[in-house]
Structure 1
Amino acid sequence: MPSQPLSLALVQMASTPGWQPNRSTVQAVLAEHTQPEDLAVFPECVLCLGRGRTVRETARTAAETVADLGSLCAQAERAAVFGGVPVREDDGVRNSSLFFSSTGKLLGRYDKMHLFRLDPDGPGGIDESRVYAAGTEPVVIDHNGWRIGLSICYDLRFPELFRAWGPVDLALCTAAFTAGTGLAHWEVLLRARAIENQCYVAAVGQCGMNAETSIEHFGHSLLADPWGQVRAQAGEGEGVLRVSLDPDRLHDVRTRLPALQHRVL
């Protein structure tokens, strides 16, 4: 269990289809809207939010992507999670969450395992399997004494992923929830994952209407504590939500209600 607080900067964005404009936004946020102690967390599709063809054309190799984003972190001297970047592999494009130290070192990569599908044959339908290849392995990162599990958007609906991590102190969910699914399910799913796993859940989302897809994104990035209480929540627009995670809260909840010790499956 961690002994020191963890500071997060949850960066709610309205990303565009173009890599370079989004990269410039990321660079400015790291320099101007975060503190040295922060772990900056950016949403899914942070560097490219658009149609499937745009995503496939924008995708870069892992080496190119790591070099580019690592240099941003090193320059700003900030640790950061880029919560969903298109990475080109031999077998297709992966939707990858990349976790960097403040020196620009890649600490871990998680490829989204559950690919979203919503009315795929209808007008405005979504089928991520037409764009991405699914990941296969859960990923947990140790950062400043905190065990942090990585998830991306639709993963939130699959509690078995969260349990596959083993005990974690923080679950990160980087997302691009639609306004409709977000209004119905966002907060209740995040609070449920926090309650089930007796950990903090920090979720950061895309917001606004995307010009290329005409999809409206939900925003409302939030932090839920291990008791399932919402400690902080953003609105519908772009911004940075800074939050501090108290390790004593983890200890108190797990001591009062030792549910993790009572698992039989």
Structure 2
Amino acid sequence: MQNLRISLVQTHLDWQQPDANRERLTALLAPLEGQTDLIVLPEMFTTGFTMSPNEVAEPMQGPTLAWMQAQARLLGAAICGSVVIEDAGYRNRLLFVTPEGEVEYYDKHHLFRMANEHEYYAAGTRRSIIEYKGWRILPQVCYDLRFPVWCRNRDDYDVLLCVANWPSPRRMPWRTLLLARAIENQCYVVGVNRVGEDGKGLEYSGDSLLVDFKGQALLDGPAREPFIKTGLLNGEDLKQFRHNFPVWQDADAFTLSDMDETQP
């Protein structure tokens, strides 16, 4: 397992303006060409966390996927983030695109009922593992982070990656849960959140983090400010820690029997 450079993109989002957000991100990501392996964008990075999917949803083969493929090829890095997609209903879909143009995805499973997300979007049923450069990555979207059973490492992933629009009044749970998921699953955790105010007046503090398998923050940028920071995931360090402190061997076995866990 080679080391993996990963870039966290904490940014403002223009409310329900996909063209403007793609244009801004094109400029922001340009300096990353050849400097990283994986770029992580926030949840619904083209629109903000909207409950108007009928106004902004794209087909799977829409302009944002085409933009992601072009950016991944140009920058020489995989790129991921969630987008509003119309596919048998509306989906809050995390897209993961490689420099070769390959696409994998994960549909948000836990829909945030306090914003009535479950009334507008269809919940995903697949817990997917994405393999990239020798790393096994578990993608999650925002509210999924609160559910440790869904996130539980069954010796099947090395990195938990969570993209979010997590409002600043709940910034302490966001930060605490990222650390907790890293410790209990003996994995790296990447959490990328937006900053600024959305069209509903909610304010976001960002607090994007890269956390190691001991729960130590490797990247922790300034709250409420946009930033792009790149950190290194060390595969040998992770392997050695799991060998020396094999908590995973005593984990309780279980299955998610009511879910289709096959990859798309």
Matched, 1:132 2:128: no
1:123 aligns to what? none
Matched, 1:115 2:149: no
2:28 aligns to what? 29
Letter aligned with residue 96 of structure 2: F
Letter aligned with residue 12 of structure 2: A
Once residues 154 and 127 of structure 2 are traced to their aligned partners in structure 1, the CA distance between those partners, rounded to angstroms, is: 7
Kindly provide the CA deviation profile for residues 162-193 of structure 1, in whole angstroms up to 9, marking residues without a partner as x.
226643111101011010112x3011101111
**Shift in alpha-carbon separation, 1:145–1:51, aligned structure 2, 3 A:** closer
Letter aligned with residue 161 of structure 2: L
2:96 aligns to what? 99
TM-superposed CA distance for 1:37, in Å, is 3.4
**How many residues in Structure 1 have an aligned counterpart in Structure 2?**
250
TM-score, length-scaled by structure 1: 0.89
Q: What's the secondary structure of 2:83's corresponding residue?
A: strand
Letter aligned with residue 214 of structure 1: G
State how 1:191-206 maps to structure 2 within 5 Å.
191-206=179-194
1:122 aligns to what? none
TM-score, length-scaled by structure 2: 0.89
TM-superposed CA distance for 1:231, in Å, is 1.5
Once residues 216 and 74 of structure 2 are traced to their aligned partners in structure 1, the CA distance between those partners, rounded to angstroms, is: 36
TM-superposed CA distance for 1:23, in Å, is 0.6
Q: What's the secondary structure of 2:124's corresponding residue?
A: coil
1:121 aligns to what? none
Matched, 1:142 2:140: no
Letter aligned with residue 253 of structure 1: F
Work out which of the residue numbers 207, 212, 215 in structure 2 matches 1:228: 215
Letter aligned with residue 148 of structure 1: I
Matched, 1:8 2:6: yes
Q: Per residue, is there more strand in 1 or in 2?
A: 1
Percent identity of equivalent pairs: 34
1:243 aligns to what? 231
Letter aligned with residue 121 of structure 2: Y
Q: What's the secondary structure of 1:115's corresponding residue?
A: coil
2:86 aligns to what? 88
Q: What's the secondary structure of 1:249's corresponding residue?
A: helix
**Shift in alpha-carbon separation, 1:164–1:249, aligned structure 2, 3 A:** closer
Once residues 66 and 165 of structure 1 are traced to their aligned partners in structure 2, the CA distance between those partners, rounded to angstroms, is: 31
Letter aligned with residue 46 of structure 2: L
2:259 aligns to what? none
Kindly provide the CA deviation profile for residues 44-77 of structure 1, in whole angstroms up to 9, marking residues without a partner as x.
0111115422x33111111224334222322333
Letter aligned with residue 13 of structure 2: S
Kindly provide the CA deviation profile for residues 176-224 of structure 1, in whole angstroms up to 9, marking residues without a partner as x.
1010112x301110111101110000111011112x1111112010011
Contact 2:34 2:75 in 1 (8 A): no
TM-superposed CA distance for 1:102, in Å, is 1.2
TM-superposed CA distance for 1:36, in Å, is 4.2
Contact 2:33 2:75 in 1 (8 A): no
Contact 1:138 1:164 in 2 (8 A): no
Q: What's the secondary structure of 2:61's corresponding residue?
A: helix
Q: What's the secondary structure of 1:63's corresponding residue?
A: coil
Once residues 154 and 17 of structure 2 are traced to their aligned partners in structure 1, the CA distance between those partners, rounded to angstroms, is: 34
Letter aligned with residue 145 of structure 2: L
Once residues 6 and 74 of structure 1 are traced to their aligned partners in structure 2, the CA distance between those partners, rounded to angstroms, is: 18
Once residues 32 and 118 of structure 2 are traced to their aligned partners in structure 1, the CA distance between those partners, rounded to angstroms, is: 35
Contact 1:140 1:165 in 2 (8 A): no
TM-superposed CA distance for 1:8, in Å, is 0.5
**Shift in alpha-carbon separation, 1:138–1:166, aligned structure 2, 3 A:** farther
**Shift in alpha-carbon separation, 1:51–1:170, aligned structure 2, 3 A:** closer
Q: Which runs of 5 or more structure 1 residues have no equivalent in the other structure?
A: 119-125
Kindly provide the CA deviation profile for residues 233-258 of structure 1, in whole angstroms up to 9, marking residues without a partner as x.
11221110110111122123212220
